[in-house]
């Protein structure tokens, strides 16, 4: 989402510059995070100017697909993020500005996309859970040589190799 400074200055002289756009952030799917899919997000907000500083307050709305923490099925996660960013065209950008998270603007075009992506990444929850109790495409409960046994449903299965030993123990019990 690129905005020109002249466009912002022209509008923001009388009232705040307002914007409302759909932004493609599908690049987040390829990064090292849990996002499996993310559709274009809606970004809307306003920008004010005070001297050489541009104050942006905006809201990001969208939906991402994350894996369930229990079953690894896809879980749609709608989100709304409120964000504020400050930019400066001042040539005297120093450590104070960096410490206060005031971002420098180089040139006449301001690209908000990296800051939108950063705010979305910060919004990713630690874990999400599917509302379905037993989803069909969830994590498998058995495989090649293994089977998941819950504590609730633990059946007493005897290893076939020990079956003969059990019969010997039963004979001893009958003899007593």
Q: Which parts of the chain are beta strand (E)? A: 2-4, 17-23, 37-38, 41-50, 53-67, 74-88, 102-104, 109-111, 142-143, 146-147
Q: In Å, what is the CA distance from 71 to each residue of 98, 121, 130?
A: 42, 22, 8
Banded pLDDT at 135 (limits 50, 70, 90): low
DSSP string for 63-89: EEEEEBTTT--EEEEEEEEEEEEEEE-
Residue 40's pLDDT is 93
User: Is residue 17 pLDDT above 80, yes or no?
Assistant: yes
Please name the helix (run of DSSP H) or strand (run of DSSP E) that holds residue 7, with its range, or none: helix 5-12
Residues of the chain with pLDDT > 70: what percent?
Answer: 82
- Whole-structure pTM value: 0.69
Banded pLDDT at 157 (limits 50, 70, 90): low
Residue 165's pLDDT is 76
Residue 129's pLDDT is 86
Residue 59's pLDDT is 95
User: Is residue 67 pLDDT above 80, yes or no?
Assistant: yes
């Amino acid at each position: 989402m690129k905005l020109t400074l002249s466009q912002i200055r022209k509008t923001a002289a009388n009232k705040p510059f307002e914007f409302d756009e759909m932004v493609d952030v599908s690049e987040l799917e390829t990064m090292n995070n849990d996002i499996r899919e993310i559709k274009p997000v809606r970004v809307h907000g306003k920008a004010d100017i005070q001297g050489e500083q541009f104050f942006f307050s905006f809201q990001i709305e969208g939906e991402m697909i994350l894996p369930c923490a229990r079953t690894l099925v896809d879980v749609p996660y709608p989100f709304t993020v409120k964000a504020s960013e400050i930019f400066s065209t001042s040539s005297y950008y120093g450590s104070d500005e960096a410490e206060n998270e005031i971002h420098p603007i180089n040139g006449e075009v301001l690209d908000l996309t990296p800051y939108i992506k950063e705010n979305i990444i910060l919004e990713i929850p630690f874990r999400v859970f599917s509302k379905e109790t037993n989803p069909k495409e969830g994590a498998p409960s058995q495989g090649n040589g293994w089977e998941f046994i819950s504590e609730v449903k633990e059946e007493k299965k005897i290893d076939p190799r020990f079956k003969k030993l059990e019969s010997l123990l039963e004979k001893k019990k009958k003899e007593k």
